[in-house]
């Protein structure tokens, strides 16, 4: 079955057009539009049940959407089975054949496609070298560490040169040190291959570390899409503001062309509606200073927590609790809990978060 042309959508990459998924009366994915640009590392991030894996499996062809369509390079692939799509999926369990050698596992896809044994083995050796396993062609999966088995599965995923690699929480089973190492390895590999990676995870740090863009999902819908820095420092919804680590969220109100809150009267950014309404303001703990800053507020210190390189202060300002994070060596002489303190910040660092009516 060949791709059917969709001349009205000539863009390169993957496009979801109002795609949804319903099981019985339960809608696990609301009508969703999304573009995955050719050659980018896109991460879909969200808690369990948010719909992120549903999107990945629909793009891969393992689940059919209840409505909408999926385009790839302008062609409608919605009804194509997985083996008809130029994509490969990297699964959590690796699914290696225990009776085959590493080289045979990696070459399997090429052999299924009819490539000769010698040529397939040569290609497998090249791909294993790419993932740093050049000396392990004859080993069996049981003789490898968890990280090595993962690289074998990855080599098998990329050997057929897919135009899109789908990765469903591939690092979840690894320990913290190996997971951190593999994050850098996967990002570097994606750049060298210049292949599109669509990565699904529930780990915020993992998403920020690896992605060119992040899609944040909650309850079957997209909350926000953007580069990691934009989502971290400029969240658009309360969910995104709370989901990316510690954040100071303070109730506020837009009045008389300003933002009124416990941090004082803040300027309304250009382009933001001056309509009176309740909102939230978000300010990251590392953007608050114990001294200095363009804007200063008075408060009381509640607690000091030392965590190695970072020290966290808990303070109250105008009845709101604020977290302040700083390098532990930067302020050796800290006030004691109960003392009055002055906190400083740059008003330009404050993000406005709209509240749904």
236-239 long-range contacts (CB < 8 A, ≥24 apart) are 236/353, 236/354, 237/353, 237/354, 237/356, 238/280, 238/353, 238/355
pTM for the structure as a whole: 0.88
The CATH code of the domain at 4-233 is 3.40.50.300
Long-range contacts of 186-194 (CB under 8 A, 24+ apart): 186/154, 186/210, 187/41, 189/130, 189/131, 189/154, 189/158, 190/41, 190/165, 192/130, 193/158, 194/39
* pLDDT at position 11: 59
The tens digit of pLDDT for each residue in 317-353 reads 988 999 999 988 766 678 899 999 999 999 999 999 9
pLDDT of residue 10: 41
Beta carbons of 184 and 208 less than 8 angstroms apart: no
* Positive/negative CA dihedral, 331, 333, 338, 341: negative
Which class is domain 246-354? mainly beta
> Residue 284 — pLDDT band, cuts 50, 70, 90?
very high
pLDDT of 252 = 95
pLDDT tens-place string over residues 235-281 = 999 999 999 888 999 999 999 999 999 999 999 988 899 999 999 99
Give the pLDDT score at 39: 93
Query: Would the pLDDT of 3 be above 70?
Result: no
The domain ranges of the chain are 4-233, 246-354
What mean pLDDT, rounded, does the chain reach? 90
CB 102 within 8 A of CB 138: yes
What pLDDT was estimated at residue 245? 81
**Is 70 exceeded by the pLDDT of residue 15?**
yes
Cβ of 342: how many Cβ atoms within 10 Å?
A: 14
């Amino acid at each position: 079955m060949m791709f059917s042309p969709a001349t009205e959508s000539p863009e390169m990459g993957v496009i979801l057009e109002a795609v949804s998924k319903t099981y019985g009366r339960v809608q696990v994915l609301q009508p969703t539009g999304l573009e995955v640009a050719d050659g980018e590392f896109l991460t879909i991030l969200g808690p369990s049940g948010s719909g992120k894996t549903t999107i990945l499996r629909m793009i891969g062809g393992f689940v059919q959407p209840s409505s909408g369509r999926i385009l790839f390079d302008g062609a409608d692939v919605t009804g194509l089975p997985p083996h008809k799509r130029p994509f490969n999926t990297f699964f959590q369990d690796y699914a290696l054949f225990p009776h085959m050698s590493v080289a045979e596992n990696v070459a399997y896809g090429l052999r299924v496609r009819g490539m000769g044994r010698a040529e397939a083995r040569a290609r497998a050796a090249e791909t294993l070298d790419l993932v740093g396993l050049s000396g392990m062609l004859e080993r069996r999966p049981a003789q490898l560490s968890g990280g090595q088995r993962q690289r074998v599965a990855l080599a098998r995923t990329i050997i057929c040169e897919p135009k899109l690699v789908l990765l469903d929480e591939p690092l979840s089973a690894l320990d913290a040190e190996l997971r951190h190492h593999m994050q850098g390895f996967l990002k570097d590999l994606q750049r060298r291959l210049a292949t599109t990676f669509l990565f699904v995870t529930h780990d915020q740090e993992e998403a920020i570390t690896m992605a060119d863009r992040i899609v944040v999902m909650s309850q079957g819908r997209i909350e926000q899409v953007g580069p990691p820095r934009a989502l971290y420092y400029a969240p658009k919804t309360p969910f995104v503001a709370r989901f990316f680590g510690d954040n100071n969220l303070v109730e506020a109100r837009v009045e008389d062309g300003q933002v009124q809150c416990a941090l004082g009267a803040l300027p309304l950014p250009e382009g933001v509606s001056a309509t009176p309404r309740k909102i939230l303001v978000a300010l990251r703990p590392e953007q608050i200073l114990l001294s200095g800053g363009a804007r200063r507020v008075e408060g009381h210190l509640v607690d000091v927590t030392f965590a190695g390189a970072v020290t966290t202060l808990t303070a109250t300002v105008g009845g709101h609790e604020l977290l302040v994070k700083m390098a532990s060596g930067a302020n050796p002489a800290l006030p004691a809990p109960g003392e009055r303190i002055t906190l400083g910040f740059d008003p330009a660092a404050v993000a406005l978060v709209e509240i749904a009516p």
